[in-house]
A and B are shown apart, each in its own frame.
Chain A
C-alpha cells in the first residue's frame, strides 16, 4: 500500500469538505473494494475519507410509501432488518447473500452502488425496485444512475446519503455465483409493484453492467410465474464472456435465475 492520509468524517458536510481539500481523494465506505485495490498498489489516493462513522448515514427508516436505507448501512443490518424483511423480502435476502459474513459486516449499500461493480448485487435490486438514490446534492432515479461498468451518474465528491425503495408487491432475487470469486456470475432481481408494473434487472451478465431485461418483464407482466419464462429468449448479444461463462451461458442464466427469483418471490 502507498502512503495515504486517513480522515474520519463526522458529518456529510465534513466529508465533502475533506474530499475537496485532498489532491486525489477517495471516499471509504465499507472498504470492501477500495482497500484490497490499495493493498495491491492499484490505487494511490492522497486522502481517504471514511464515511462509515457518520451517524446520519447509518440506519433503516420506514417511510410513507416504502423504506429508506441510509448510505453507510451495512449489508448485515439490511439483511437483519425486520422492516426490510417485511416490506421488501427480496432485498433482505439479497443483502444476506452478498460476499461472506466478513464482507456483510463491513460493506455498505452506498459503497456498493457508488462502485457499481457489474457483478455486485445491490445494483440489480435498486434498478428492479425502481429506487431513488439520494446524494448530498440531489436525488437520482435508478434508471438514470447506472452508466455501465464501474460507472455511475455520481459526480466527483458526491456522496450517496440514502437509497429510497418504494413499497413492492413481490420481490425476489436469485444469484448464480462465480465459482472462484463468489460474486454474481449472473443474478436476477424481479419485482412487481402494487400497481402491477414488473421490473427485472440482471447483474453480472451484460457488457454494459446491470441491465433491465425487457423480454422477461413483458412475459411476467402477462403471467407472473416461472413457467411463463420457459420459452423466453434472452439474447446473448452484448453479454459478458470469460473463462467462467460464455455469453450464451450467461444469457441462459438470466432466464433461469429469473425463473428462480419468481419462485422465491412467490
Chain B
C-alpha cells in the first residue's frame, strides 16, 4: 500500500471546497434571464381539480406564466414511470395508475402539484401563487394500508382494483408448510417498519435551460444518476431526444435514495423553459421536501419461524403489506420484493422460506428506496424474530444465532441470493468481545440498583450491494442494466482524469477512486481528477445507490486501468528497448525489472501523444474505456450490539455502548468507511428511536417539519465502537463489498432488541419514543 493507495485513510480531497463554502450546487447556478418556478400544491389528500383560475395572478408584477397539469397533458409530456415490472402470484402484471407531472384531474396526496407559476423572482412567484384559485372537490381519502385494503375503501386508481398494485410471492410455499408441520416450536411476530422522510441536507432543485437555436436542453439537477435521468426524460417523458438533452448533477448535498428518481418538478422545469423561452429555476424548500421527496420503508408484516427441538430453524413464513403511497415511484416496485424478500434468509440456514408481499396504494406521498431499500426491512424483521425466538426458547440470543449461522460458502438461499463469502462467527465474536457480552448480567444488576433498566440487543445483518448482474436483474423485471462504465484519460503531461458513471453526493468518490489509481500507478492522488455527474462528459453510467459505486464503479475503473497499463507498458518497453513482459510499474515509473532502466509516467504519456516513436501499428493516445457488469451481488455482513438504559420515570433511552463489527471486504479508505458507517448507524438509530411519519385519517401529513419529525442529532447518538472482520469478495477485482447502507440496515433491530430486553416487553414499535417506551413499561 502506498501512502495514498488502497487502505490509506487519506483526507477527503473534496472536503476543502465543501467546508470553505466553495461547493457548487444546483441552486448556485445562475443564468441570464433566469425565471423562478413556484408550484401550487394540493392541500387535500384526495380531490378532483374542477378548475384553475389564474387570471388575477397573470396580471401581477413579474409573472411570466401560470402553467397547469392540463397543459402538460396537452403537450404530450409522458406520465411518470416505474422502471421495474413485478408480476403477481396469479401471473398478472403489476397494476400501475397514471401519474402526470402535474395533476390535470385528480390529486391523490397532499403536496401534489396542480400548476406552476413562473416569475422573475422567487418571491413574486410565491405572491402570484397565492392569487391562483384552484377549485377542488374533496374526495374521501385513505392514508394507511389496513384501511386501503378494506372492502369498500375509496379507490385511488381505476387501474388498481382494491388499491392493490400486486400480490407477489417468493420461495416454496409447500416446503415451508411442511417445515412448520415438523416444528417443535413456532415463534410469531407482528411488526411495523415505520415510514421515514429522507431529509437530505440539500433540498431537491432544478435549473432548466432551453436553447432554441440548437433545440437543445440543459438540466442542472440534484440527481444521484444523471444518465438515467436523461434516459427517462428522453425515452419516456418525451422532453427531448438524448443528444438534445444534457443533464448535469453537480455537487449534491446528500441523497439517501431520494435523488435517484426523476420527479415532476424537473420535468416541469424543462418543459416550462421551452414554453416561456427563458431558463427556469426551481429550488424546493424543506416543506416541499417533506411532502414530495419519496418516503422510505412503511411495511406491516406478520412473520412465523419454525424451530426443531435443537433450536435449528426449519422454516420462515412472512406476509408483508407495503404502502406505496399515491403513485408508483421509479424503483418502488423492486424495493419490497427483490431488495427485501431475497434477504429474508439473513445469516442463517433456513431450509424453507415463503414470503408474500402485497403492494398497496394510499393517499400519501409515494414511497421508494431509502438508504438500505428493502434490506433494512428484512433485517429488522429477521433480527427481531431471532431475539423474540431466543426469549421464547429460553436460550441466549447470541447462541441461537450461532446455532443457525451459515458457515459454508458459497451458500444458495431459498430466496434467489447466492452468498459468495462471509464469516458470521468472526463478526459476532468480535462484537461480543468489544462490548464485554459476558459481563452484561453484572452491569444490568448494578444499573437496577441505580433505578435504571438496562438492556442489550444484537443484530446480525447481511445485505446485498453492488446491484447487480444485468442479465439477472433483467430476468427479474428491471428496466435497465446495472453495469458501470469508466474512462481513464492519461493526459500528455501524465495527469489522469477518471470519468465514472457513478455519482458522488457525499460518499467521497473523488478521493477513494483516486486512491485506486494511486495504488496501481504509484502517483499522488493530487494528479488524479474524478469526473462525474455530467452526461456531456461521461459517456454513460447507472449512478450511485445500493452501495454499488465501489463494487461496480470501482471494478470498471480497474478494468479500464488494466487496458491503460497494458498500452503504457508497450510504449515503455519500446522506449526502453526491453521486453514488455519485463516492465513493472512502481512509484509512477515504468521499470525494466532487475535493471536500473526506467521511464516516468509523464514521459510515457507524452510519447503516446507525440506519437513520434510508438511501436509499429499502435494508435496514438492513452485513453481507455471499460464497461463492467458484476458477476453477483456483494454481501456485506456484520454484527451490531447495543447496550442501553431506559429511565422508567420518563421512558427515555440512553446509550451505554454501541459496537459494530462489519465485513465489507477490502477497505479502500478506512476513514471514509468509518464515516459511512457512522452516518448509516445514525439513520438506523434515528428510525429506531426518533423518526416516524404520521398521517392523520384524512391524509394530512402531521410530521411535516422538524418541529414534529425528529431527526437524529449528535447528542442523540453514542460514540460508536467500530471494527472490521474481513473476507475478501471473490466476485470483483478489488475484493470490495460496499459500506454505504450497512449501518442503516443493521442498527434498528439492535436498538429495539436492547430496549425490549431492558423493559421486559417485546410489544414495541419504532420509533421507540419515550412516550411509547413509558407506556410499554407501565401499560
Q: Encode B707-738 as 1/0 by CB contact (under 8 A) with A.
A: 11111000010000000000000000000000
A244–B771 contact, CB under 8 A?
Answer: yes
CB-based nearest B residue for A40: B287
Query: B770 — which chain A residues lie within 8 A by C-beta?
Result: 176, 179, 185, 245, 249
CB distance from B391 to the nearest CB of A (A): 26
Contacts A179-B770, A256-B649, A256-B650; A246 near B775 (Cβ below 8 A) = yes
Asked if B694 is at the interface (CB within 8 A of a chain A CB), the reply is yes
Q: Which residues of A contact B771 (CB under 8 A)?
A: 244-246, 249
Shortest Cβ distance from A50 into chain B, in angstroms? 22
- Dominant SS at the B interface? loop
A253 on interface, CB distance cutoff 8 Å = yes
Bound-state Cα–Cα, A24 to B709, Å: 33
- For chain B, give the interface size range: 20 to 34
Q: Determine if A179 and B690 form an interchain contact, defined as CB atoms under 8 angstroms apart.
A: yes
Check A180 for interface membership: any CB of B closer than 8 A: yes
Task: Check B405 for interface membership: any CB of A closer than 8 A.
Answer: no
Cβ–Cβ < 8 Å partners of A180 in chain B: 690, 703, 706-711
A246 / chain B contacts, CB cutoff of 8 Å: 771, 775
A256 to B650 alpha-carbon distance, docked (Å): 7
Are B126 and A179 interface neighbours, CB within 8 A? no
* B174 CB-CB contact with A under 8 Å: no
Chain A residues 246-264 with CB under 8 Å of chain B are 246, 249, 252-253, 256, 259
Residues of the B chain whose Cβ atoms lie less than 8 Å from the Cβ of A237: none
Q: Is A86 interfacial (CB-CB < 8 Å)?
A: no
B650 touches A243 (CB 8 A): no
B702 within 8 A of A: yes
Contacts A179-B769, A180-B708, A180-B710; is A243 near B774 (CB within 8 Å)?
Answer: no
Q: CB of A23 within 8 A of chain B?
A: no
Contact residues in B for A249 (Cβ distance below 8 Å): 651, 770-771, 774-775
Q: Do the beta carbons of B706 and A41 come within 8 Å of each other? A: no
Residues of B within 8 A of A176 (CB): 650, 652, 770
Closest to A257 in B: B650
Task: Tell me the complex Cα distance, A185–B769, Å.
Answer: 12
Chain B residues whose C-beta falls within 8 Å of the C-beta of A185 in the assembled complex = 770
Flag whether A181 is at the interface (Cβ < 8 A): yes
| Interfacial chain B residues near A41, Cβ < 8 Å | 126
Quote the shortest CB–CB distance from B165 to chain A (angstroms).
28
Q: Is the CB of A243 within 8 A of B649?
A: no
CA separation between A234 and B658, bound complex, in Å? 37
Bound-state Cα–Cα, A185 to B775, Å: 16
B775 lies within 8 A of A179 (CB) = no
Contact of B708 among A243, A245, A252, A253 (CB under 8 A): A243
How many Å lie between the Cα of A244 and that of B703 in the bound state? Answer: 11
Q: How far is the CA of A44 from the CA of B649 in the complex (A)?
A: 43
| Chain A residue with the shortest CB-CB distance to B710 | A180
For the complex, what is the distance from the CA of A41 to the CA of B123, rounded to whole Å?
11
CA distance A9 to B703 in the complex (A): 38
**Which B positions have Cβ atoms within 8 angstroms of A?**
123, 126, 649-652, 689-690, 694, 702-703, 706-711, 716, 769-771, 774-775, 778
**11 interchain pairs, CB-CB under 8 A:** A176-B652, A179-B710, A179-B716, A179-B769, A180-B690, A180-B709, A185-B770, A245-B771, A246-B775, A249-B774, A256-B649
Q: Which 3 A-B pairs have the closest CB atoms?
A: A180-B710, A256-B649, A179-B710
Apart from the given pairs A244-B771, A245-B770, 17 other A-B contacts in the complex at a CB distance below 8 Å:
A1-B123, A176-B652, A176-B770, A179-B710, A179-B769, A180-B706, A180-B708, A180-B709, A180-B711, A185-B770, A244-B769, A246-B771, A246-B775, A249-B774, A249-B775, A252-B649, A252-B774
